[in-house]
Amino acid sequence: MCRHMAYTGPEIPFGRLVLDPPCSLHRQSWAPRRQRHGTVNADGFGIGWYAPGDPVPARYRRAGPIWADAQLPDLARVVRTGALLAAVRDATVAGPDAEAAAAPFAAGRYLFSHNGAVTGWPDSLAPLAAELPPEELLRLPARCDAAFLWALVRHRLVRGDELGDALAGTVTAVAAAAPGSRLNLLLTDGTAIAATTWGDTLFHLTLPGGGTVVASEPHDDSPLWTEVPDRTLLRATRAEVHLTPLKESAT
């Protein structure tokens, strides 16, 4: 149900990560190797990146498959960045939202993606929707479960939660309201990366030249990739990765 990745490290053309590796995110759109649910990620894609000196990311998103976009290779070759978040989408339910439903979702300095599906969406999350201010619901960029999860995460960020706490709190609340949901979330502010595993795969890689990649699956066969256990919160910078187990909510 999607593949996604994030990077923080030395400034590079984003194509070096998104397009060039033998099992890149581009290839994962039609031939993922570790995806547990779905086989083709052709319902949209997006790349968000940070320019030097600008904390607000730029985004390039489309409703169609990444392999059909003729402009992307040129962008990927010349646009350099020290941080990015990218995703290819396999829609949980077909809908009219087009590229508005394609990750990364954005607000301020943050980029967000969801790999998975919410069980019983949307009825199962009605209690959580009732806890959000009405203006948060009116700002939903699309009518999909990922967009609503982003609203929950964004609400926690606005109230002061750090990246990892915002993801962990959202995952445990949604898992309690909708048991059986798959909730691999990915979030960056251009400096740090936070991610969760809850029902699908996640890996991290410290690059030999510096920098960290966090991805649904490895983009090559390097032995340096490390798999993240299920039900784990990952926090990463360009130099360090920390893992914390996630637990079911007691309520």
Known catalytic residues? 2
Question: How far is 192 from 32, CA to CA, in rounded Å?
Answer: 26
**E strands, 132-225, where?**
182-188, 193-197, 203-206, 212-215
* Chain-centre distance for alpha carbon 96: 21
Cβ atoms of 34 and 216 within 8 Å: the answer is: yes
What does DSSP assign to residue 247? -
**E strands, 133-173, where?**
none
25 is written with which tokens? 């995110």
Cβ atoms of 110 and 80 within 8 Å: the answer is: no
Residue 96: what are its φ and ψ, rounded to 5°? -90, 5
Q: Which helix (H) or strand (E) holds 87?
A: strand 80-88
123: number of CA atoms within 13 Å, CB side?
A: 1
Question: How far is 201 from 221, CA to CA, in rounded Å?
Answer: 16
Question: How far is 132 from 109, CA to CA, in rounded Å?
Answer: 21
